[in-house]
Amino acid sequence: MLDTFKRIHKVFLIIGLILFSVYAVSTNTMIKNLSWYVSYKENVTGGLLIFFQILAASALIYQFGKEWCETHYALIKEIPLFLFDHLLLIAVAVFYYWNIMKMQNAGAMNNVMILSQMFYLFIAVSIHDFYEYLPWLLGTHIAMMGLTVVLFLLHILPDVTYVRSSSMMGHSCGYIWPLDFGAHLLMIVLLYIIYRHDSFTLWEFIIINIGNFFMMKVTTAKTDTIMIFAASLGAFLLSTEMGHRIIGKVLKLSYLEMICAPLVTLYFAVFYQPGQATWEKLNAVFNHRFQLQHQAISRYGLHVRGTYVKWRGFGSGKKPSLSKYNFVDNAYLKSMIDFGYGYTILFIAGCLYGVHYFFEEENYSGVLAFAILFLFGFLQHQLAYLTMNPLLFVISGAMLIRMSDVYSFIIYRKHGY
């Protein structure tokens, strides 16, 4: 019976995955402003939320039933053991509903946030491996990027431009901002690198970077271009015997990178000193990011739960005055403000487990993808949002890590048995 339940759940999981991916990508393109999309958006959002809640409940029932059948404990004994053994899953659920209640009380419900966190839950307790739904994830995102560009070429979606200099202008090609186009392409490339594992070829490296070059010429997204080049070069080197050995050792530093990146962000945001020569030079190099981060943390503060902020940026062709512009291009600080530092700590823990998962699978391409993402997160905001970062689904395994497994791992590292 459990096997039949598992097969049925897998079918609905894939359907949910495709539906959410279509919805998620559309929120970062000008599709969201089309009249027919606006008309049905609330109904689609509500429907997806109910669908995800059902899937979350069914996956929890399966997980509980599987463990109960395997252990043969009396039901009254199994419930507290199950709850204790899945503390991280429970912690994420608590922060999820805590955030929802705060948003409702403030009258500022963020549907994308709710859907993203709900999707974490039902994927997290799912009984399926990341590699099973990776092709569906990759295919849906490629199709949505293609659809967005086609609708732009047909003049159905408008172009949002960004004047970088007198000789450089970035085009969004149907996305809400030129840099969002580049960020989405980066995410797709990273998914493809994981899908190819250690079989990435020289031809794939060349083809990807030809597309990368044209993307840069159209959008002027230099950061995304550099990240795509670094990721594809690393993936190609990993396909060689020597590169696999050397880069595999270097990538072990990714644990340190993932811990240090949020801490470095906080240091710059808190200790930035306006008017001080050294800080002003650094601020200019990073396009005034440190100044905006310092203003954000001073104005909104950091709380256990998130704070609703009406971010004002240039996306979708909006042009707020410089005095009202408050957008933070840093994934760690923006996540701490939007979701709270409690949720962000859990998010980092999940990412660390995701890297550990790839190391266990000996998939160094996956570790490389996370290393690139965390570097990218220091300069852009998309890292912590499922709407632009489908790679986050891999960290769902962290929510099922059992406390008994953690205890066994500690004992093994300490005593060697």
- Count of other CB atoms within 10 angstroms of residue 102: 16
Please give the Cα distance from 224 to 34 (Å, whole number).
27
Q: What is the pLDDT of residue 103?
A: 56
Look at 136-140, 343-347, 361-365, 406-410 and tell me which has the smallest mean pLDDT.
406-410
Amino acid letter, residue 69: C
Amino acid letter, residue 90: I
Predicted confidence at residue 52, as pLDDT, reads 67
Listed in sequence order, the residues at least 6 apart from 346 whose beta carbon sits closer than 8 Å to its beta carbon are 88, 91, 92, 95
Segment 142-151, tens digit of pLDDT: 999 999 999 9
409 pLDDT above the threshold of 80: no
Provide the residue count of the chain. 417
Instruction: For residues 390 and 386, give the distance between their C-alpha atoms in angstroms, rounded to a whole number.
Output: 6
Rounded distance, CA 293 to CA 271, Å? 10
In 3D space, the residue among 30, 37, 24 whose CA is nearest the CA of residue 155 turns out to be: 30
Give the model's confidence band at 7: pLDDT under 50 very low, under 70 low, under 90 confident, else very high.
confident
Give pLDDT, residue 417: 46
Contact in structure between 391 and 372 (CB atoms under 8 Å): no
Q: Delimit the domains of the chain by residue range.
A: 2-71+87-257+339-401
Q: Are 393 and 123 in contact (CB under 8 A)?
A: yes
Q: Is residue 272 a contact partner of residue 291, using CB atoms and an 8 Å limit?
A: yes
* Lowest-confidence pick of 120-134, 233-247, 361-375: 120-134
Highest mean pLDDT among 197-211, 242-256, 267-281: 197-211
Calculate mean pLDDT across residues 280-305.
Answer: 85
Q: Name residue 262's amino acid.
A: P
Q: Who has greater pLDDT, 242 or 76? A: 242
Query: Cβ distance 176 to 381 under 8 Å?
Result: no
Model confidence over 285-297: pLDDT tens digits? 887 888 888 888 8
In this prediction, residue 108 has a pLDDT band, given cuts at 50, 70 and 90, of: very low
Q: Identify which has the larger pLDDT, 86 or 253.
A: 253
For residue 169, the cross-strand partners are 163
The pLDDT score that the predictor gives to residue 72 is 52
Segment 327-349 mean pLDDT: 82
DSSP letter (8 states) at residue 201: -
Rounded-to-integer distance, Cα 103 and Cα 112, Å: 12
**What confidence score (pLDDT) does residue 42 get?**
67
Residues in Cβ contact with 293 at an 8 Å cutoff, skipping those fewer than 6 apart: 265, 268, 269, 272, 328, 330, 333
pLDDT above 80: residue 121: no
If you average pLDDT over residues 181-202, what whole number do you get?
90
Closest CA to 266 of 326, 344, 325: 344
Per-residue confidence band for 158, with pLDDT thresholds at 50, 70 and 90: confident
Averaged confidence pLDDT in the chain: 77
User: In percent, how much of the chain has pLDDT > 70?
Assistant: 68
For the segment 315-332, what is each residue's pLDDT rounded down to a tens digit? Answer: 655 666 656 778 888 888
pLDDT in tens, 228-268: 999 999 999 998 888 888 887 888 888 888 888 889 888 88
Average pLDDT on 216-239 reads 91
Compute the chain's Rg from CA coordinates: 22
What is residue 107's predicted lDDT score, i.e. its pLDDT? Answer: 44
Band (pLDDT 50/70/90 cuts) for residue 225 is very high
What span, in angstroms and rounded, lies between the C-alpha atoms of 194 and 370? 10
CA distance 16 to 54: 11
Lowest-confidence pick of 116-120, 178-182, 192-196:
116-120
Query: Which tops the pLDDT comparison, 114 or 303?
Result: 303
Number of C-beta neighbours around residue 390 at 10 A: 23
What integer is the mean pLDDT of 365-393?
80
More confident site: 195 or 13: 195
